[in-house]
């Protein structure tokens, strides 16, 4: 039977129409993530908070370290948040504009979280993947080191370091970098153990690919999903960590500030009726932490559906 050219054309058209568009893992994950309302809303909130930290200073009417001496002592009624005076969030106890300070504090807190997560992703993943891939004695030694470091009370050691080498943001970053990768290394190692027995790794080994290249090209990309999830969940923990130290007055130093330091200042003066001084930093702190947790949760559901 000779097919009618028109029919053939019709079949081809129909096939073209019904052809399923391939979906990558990432596209799949994106749909799943966007279906999660809490996570989507949190992502939008996070973008707002980040924009606030980045561009908030553009609409600030006062410098963050400008001390308005006329306000000192009469903060409770003159320093209230108002649009007219330009102190959108009121002033702090020293007569400084709280809005500009919250902008800066949010920025520092976000930066601390990001640095912690970056170190965790780079160092932790490579460390864990190396330990897991090579296995044996090397694995034993490397993981024992992680165990030892994990059982040291880092908050205390970090405070000791901050006191000895001077309190500075750099020191804080070093301290946070030192601990943030430990958990990630464990997670990456565990995941590597399951990946390294897969066929594609076997093929790579059989064709003589260098182990370092196997780790970078074949293992690490497959860890990426779980690494992103835990990095997102790590950010709020790092922010809490930094805020804890700044709350004690041992972290970020004046005139710089962070949300923890602002909460501390606000808590110290709340019996004088200046509740906005704790309210605004607390609001941004809680929103940021909340949003990161929900985004992390959403990402976990999207990228790692097995794990509940």
Partner 1 sequence: MFSFVARRLAVAVPTLLILVVISFVLMYAAPGGPFNSERPLPPEVLANIQAKYGLDDPFWKQIVNYVVGVVTQFDFGPSFQYKSRSVNDIIAQGFPVTLTIGFWSFVVAVTAGVSLGIAAAIKQNSWLDYMAVGISIGAQVLPNFVMAPILLLTFTLWLGWLPGGGWNGGQWQHLIMPVVALSTSYMASIARITRSSMLEVLNTNFIRTAQAKGLPMRRVIWKHAMKPAMLPVLSYLGPAFVGMITGSVVIDSFFSTGGIGTFFVNSAFNRDYSVMMGITILVGALTIIFNLLVDVLYAWIDPKIRY
> How many angstroms separate the CA atoms of 83 and 120, rounded?
42
CB of 272 to partner 1, least distance (A): 10
Identify the residue among 111, 122, 282, 304 touching partner 1 (CB under 8 A). Answer: 282
Of the two residues 218 and 300, which places its CB atom closer to partner 1 in the complex? 300
Distances (CA, A) of 305 to 33, 37, 88, 228, 261: 11, 17, 44, 14, 38
C-alpha distances (whole Å) from 287 to each of 41, 48, 264, 292 are 11, 10, 17, 9
Q: Closest distance between partner 1 and the C-beta of residue 200, in Å? A: 31
> Which residues contact residue 205 at a Cβ distance below 8 angstroms, ignoring those fewer than 6 apart?
214
Q: What's the rounded Cα separation, in Å, for the pair 279 and 99?
A: 12
> Is residue 290 a contact point for partner 1 (CB under 8 A)?
yes
Distance, in Å, from the CA atom of 94 to the CA atom of 237, rounded to the nearest integer, reads 30
Residue 150 in contact with residue 182, Cβ under 8 Å?
yes
Site for partner 1 in 238-277 (CB under 8 A): 240, 243-244, 247-250, 260, 263-264, 266-267, 270-271, 275
Is residue 298 involved in binding partner 1 (CB under 8 A)? no
Considering beta carbons, is residue 278 or 299 the nearer one to partner 1? 278
The distance of closest approach from Cβ of residue 274 to partner 1 in the complex, given in angstroms and rounded to an integer, is 12
Q: Interface mask (CB under 8 A) for partner 1, residues 191-230, using x and -? A: ----------------------------------------
Our CB check for partner 1 shows the closer of 67 and 248 to be 248
Whole-number minimum distance, CB 248 to partner 1, in Å? 6
Given the complex with partner 1, which of 54 and 150 has the nearer CB atom?
150
- Name beta bridge partners: 91: 97
90: left (phi over 0), alpha (psi -120 to 50) or beta: left
Report angle CA 262, 267, 273 to the nearest 5 degrees: 115
Q: How far is the CB of 192 from partner 1 (least distance, A)?
A: 21
C-alpha to C-alpha distances, 183 to 120, 135, 172, 265, 278, nearest whole angstrom: 8, 18, 19, 32, 32
Q: How far is the CB of 106 from partner 1 (least distance, A)?
A: 15
Q: Are 42 and 298 in contact (CB under 8 A)?
A: yes
> Smallest gap, in angstroms, from Cβ of residue 47 to partner 1?
19
Write out the binding residues for partner 1, residues 123-162 only, by CB under 8 A: 144, 147-148, 151-153, 155-157, 159-162
In this complex, which beta carbon is closest to partner 1, that of residue 50 or of residue 145? 145
Helix pair angle (98-119, 37-55), 10° resolution: 120
Question: By CB under 8 A, how many residues form the interface with partner 1?
Answer: 40
CA dihedral 247, 250, 253, 257 (to 10 degrees): -20
Contact footprint for partner 1 (CB under 8 A):
144, 147-148, 151-153, 155-157, 159-165, 236, 240, 243-244, 247-250, 260, 263-264, 266-267, 270-271, 275, 278, 282, 285-286, 289-290, 293, 308
């Amino acid at each position: 039977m000779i097919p009618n050219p028109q029919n053939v054309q019709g079949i081809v058209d129909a096939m073209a129409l019904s052809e399923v568009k391939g979906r990558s893992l990432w596209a799949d994950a994106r749909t799943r993530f966007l279906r999660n309302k809490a996570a989507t809303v949190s992502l939008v909130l996070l973008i707002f908070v980040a924009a606030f930290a980045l561009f908030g200073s553009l609409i600030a009417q006062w410098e963050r370290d400008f001390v308005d001496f006329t306000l000192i002592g009469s903060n409770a009624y003159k320093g209230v948040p108002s649009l007219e005076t330009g102190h959108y969030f009121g002033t702090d106890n020293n007569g400084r504009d709280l809005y500009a300070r919250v902008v800066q504090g949010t920025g520092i807190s976000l930066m601390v979280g990001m640095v912690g997560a970056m170190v965790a992703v780079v160092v932790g993943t490579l460390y864990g993947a190396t330990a897991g891939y090579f296995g044996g004695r090397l694995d034993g030694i490397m993981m024992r080191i992680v165990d030892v470091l994990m059982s040291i009370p880092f908050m205390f050691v970090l405070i000791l370091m901050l006191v000895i080498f001077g309190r500075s943001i750099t020191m804080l970053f070093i301290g946070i970098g030192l601990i943030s990768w430990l958990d990630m290394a464990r997670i990456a190692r565990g995941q590597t153990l399951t990946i390294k027995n897969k066929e594609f790794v076997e093929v790579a080994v059989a064709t003589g690919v260098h182990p370092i290249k196997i780790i970078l090209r074949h293992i690490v990309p497959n860890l990426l999903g779980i690494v992103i999830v835990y990095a997102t969940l790590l950010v709020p923990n790092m922010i809490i960590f930094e805020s804890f130290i700044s709350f004690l007055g041992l972290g970020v130093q004046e005139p710089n500030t962070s949300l923890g330091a602002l909460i501390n200042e606000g808590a110290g003066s709340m019996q004088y009726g200046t509740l906005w001084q704790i309210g605004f930093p607390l609001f941004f702190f809680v929103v940021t932490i909340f949003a990161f947790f929900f985004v992390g949760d959403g990402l976990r559901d999207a990228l790692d559906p097995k794990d509940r």
